[in-house]
Chains A and B, each alone.
Chain A
């Protein structure tokens, strides 16, 4: 075995070098593929259309940054209202989803009952489920109950998509939390409730931050549920509202990319500051 490396057609060193080049080339290609669209969005957002399209070609080197596109958005569209709607339902469903998940995850880990694997299958099945296939039944029910065009209905619909994975994540997370911590609190006379508050919740923090990030991302990203549940313009979330921008004569690519940049701010902040929680979530499956 020890001599096999030197027996090939190319020497070991050359082989290593070629491999190194291949590694960097792959990294470079994928980075370029990933960066170009993001770069294009940012540049078009921050310069006026007159600059971007000067001379009949797209000018992608920002020479004259301008806030013009953002001012047009604020002045002649309902962007602000759409953002408020998005924030309301996103925060609502993030809190709801995370709360359900923490409670369920703790209970499923710490209490014994029969049918646990059935519960696990139900959670996994709903985790794989299709938003559009759920959206139709939800539409029908909300419509019967007169709940269409309400923040409440959309919050429930978004929670329906994010909660299964959040429950799964917390269920896995609590299994890594040793019960000894709780036991020692019980021995010292703490009630189960106090133990939950003072021992369990602090220890579970990285888990529920992770769950909250996924719930947030799902709701912020959502188009399907909002499209189905909201039909009145003043109730649109930013993704639904902005999706109709390109149909309007008064709005061009400059404003479209500007609103895209605004929508991208929360994901950008998560990538910068909460990355490790996101990666932790991927170690048990990720979402959507």
Chain B
């Protein structure tokens, strides 16, 4: 918003506030009270409360203050680093593949190919279909007994006997990654397509007139326009995938042999299978601080708040 506009608005606002004949104060309250109340109730109180709990051993039954004991136990356990590693592998693989597929398809559809609109509509499905439905589809496709992929691979002579993808050590993580990429590639696709369509076509026209090749046009026009969006996707999508719970829980429960147990799965296990809320809230606390650390870097590097404030 321009400064002139702002001061004009502020003047209008304060003039009204002085008289307050038509309830500007009330309007101010109506705008901000719901949001503030909401943030306090569902964000601040639960998080502070849970961080408090993480300082107690078994806080539900007989709270005994242990300070940072839960955190020390958590970080001192070798298994934690394995789960962290699984989270990183999963986040990097799914984000990278989603970006590649989303970018490829966005570039393709931006060429205004025949059937492009239909393809764009098609891509909405993976994004909007609930995770559970996506899991059912892929569990069926990858099923060892009746799955069509196994049927196809056996028929084609590529494998001797069917593979139980979701429950085999070396295939479980790849199977979860493929399932996730199927769902989340559209996210990158839609964001990149929106950016591509905002590029002034005259730029390409001028490049063409000057004899630039397609590659040169991509390098000098398309890519610079997409760079910001690509970084945002890597960052935000990466964070979300690192923290993804439902898709892994529904496909493997973190198995086989904790091969796909990421930190979100571990939090859930600690809280609801082992009913150890001290450790569960401590792990949630660790994940909270990891996220906060990434957010600080993000705000420093991109200043995304400049878009609005």
Residues of A that sit less than 8 Å from B by CB: 1-5, 19, 23-24, 26-27, 30-31, 33-38, 40-41, 44, 53, 57-58, 60, 99-100, 103-104, 106-112, 116-117, 119-122, 124-126, 128-134, 136-141, 156-157, 159-160, 163, 167-168, 171-172, 175, 179, 183, 186, 191-194, 196, 217, 220-224, 227-228, 239, 242-243, 246, 253, 256-257, 260, 263-264, 267-268, 270-272, 275, 278-279, 282-283, 285-286, 288
A-B contact pairs, 18 of them (CB 8 A): A5-B213, A23-B111, A26-B108, A104-B32, A110-B9, A128-B240, A128-B295, A134-B46, A141-B46, A175-B308, A191-B22, A192-B24, A224-B246, A239-B130, A257-B136, A264-B130, A267-B128, A270-B124
| Contact residue among A60, A136, A156, A223 (Cβ-Cβ distance under 8 Å from B250) | A223
A44–B136 Cα distance when bound, in Å, is: 12
A37–B148 Cα distance when bound, in Å, is: 10
Quick check: B187 and A286 within 8 Å, CB to CB? yes
Q: Given contacts A1-B212, A60-B148, A223-B132, are A192 and B23 in contact (CB under 8 A)?
A: yes
Q: Say yes or no for B81: interface residue by CB 8 A criterion.
A: no
| Contact residue among A40, A167, A260, A271 (Cβ-Cβ distance under 8 Å from B124) | A271
A117–B306 Cα distance when bound, in Å, is: 7
Quick check: B136 and A256 within 8 Å, CB to CB? yes
A57–B143 Cα distance when bound, in Å, is: 13
Given contacts A136-B280, A264-B129, 18 further A-B contacts (CB under 8 A): A2-B211, A19-B214, A103-B34, A108-B31, A125-B295, A126-B43, A128-B239, A130-B242, A130-B243, A131-B245, A134-B42, A134-B43, A136-B271, A223-B246, A246-B139, A257-B136, A268-B125, A288-B240
| Contact residue among B30, B43, B291 (Cβ-Cβ distance under 8 Å from A128) | B291
Q: How many A-B contacts at CB < 8 Å in the complex?
A: 290
| Contact residue among A26, A58, A267 (Cβ-Cβ distance under 8 Å from B151) | A58
| Contact residue among A130, A243, A260 (Cβ-Cβ distance under 8 Å from B137) | A260
CB neighbours (8 Å) of A160 from chain B are 38, 42-43
CB neighbours (8 Å) of A26 from chain B are 104-105, 108
Q: Given contacts A100-B38, A103-B35, A119-B309, are A136 and B28 in contact (CB under 8 A)?
A: no
The 8 closest A-B pairs by CB, nearest first: A107-B31, A130-B243, A191-B22, A120-B305, A137-B46, A267-B128, A137-B50, A37-B137
Q: How far is the CB of A20 from chain B (nearest CB, A)?
A: 9
Q: How far is the CB of A148 from chain B (nearest CB, A)?
A: 12
Quick check: B31 and A103 within 8 Å, CB to CB? yes
State how many residues of chain B have any CB contact under 8 Å with chain A: 109
A194–B239 Cα distance when bound, in Å, is: 42
A253–B298 Cα distance when bound, in Å, is: 44
| Contact residue among B21, B22, B130, B138 (Cβ-Cβ distance under 8 Å from A220) | B130
A134–B284 Cα distance when bound, in Å, is: 8
Q: How far is the CB of B200 from chain A (nearest CB, A)?
A: 16
CB neighbours (8 Å) of A246 from chain B are 136, 139
A159–B35 Cα distance when bound, in Å, is: 11
Q: Given contacts A138-B42, A271-B124, are A33 and B182 in contact (CB under 8 A)?
A: yes
A58–B154 Cα distance when bound, in Å, is: 14
